Amino acid sequence: MYYYSTNPDAMRPEEPETVETLAPDRQKLRVGIERKGRGGKTATVVKGFVGSNDDLEALAKQLKTRCGTGGSAKDGEIIIQGELKEKIIALLKNLGYGNTK
């Protein structure tokens, strides 16, 4: 994109940085169970994903599909409805995320 201004002090808008997604074997994911702020309902949260939002959404979709539940991906976290910690850890390891706890 090119911007033109006659104002010598004009600043160019910053372009969004592209975040490079680490390979699955280099990711350091942590899986936990949370109840706070969810109306008393249990949710399994996957934290520590390093990469683009598109890749985060794709991983969340795979986990939700394989667990048969709903959930979301936002702010670098994947939230899966229900208490599925052990199942999600096993699924992540099968997908190549070896450094998962």
**CATH number of the domain enclosing 68:** 3.30.780.10
Question: What is the β-pairing status of strands 30-34 and 43-47?
Answer: antiparallel
Residue 3, in any domain of the structure: no
Q: pLDDT (tens digit, 9 = 90+) per residue, 2-60? A: 556 677 676 666 666 667 888 888 899 999 999 988 888 999 999 999 999 999 999 99
Strands (E) across 2-98 are located at 30-34, 43-47, 71-74, 77-81
Of 26, 76, 86, give the one whose Cα is nearest residue 49: 76
Per-residue model confidence (pLDDT) at position 22: 86
Residue 4 belongs to a domain: no
Domain range enclosing 82: 28-94
Q: Is residue 48 part of a domain?
A: yes
Strand arrangement of the beta sheet that strand 30-34 belongs to: 30-34, 43-47, 77-81, 71-74
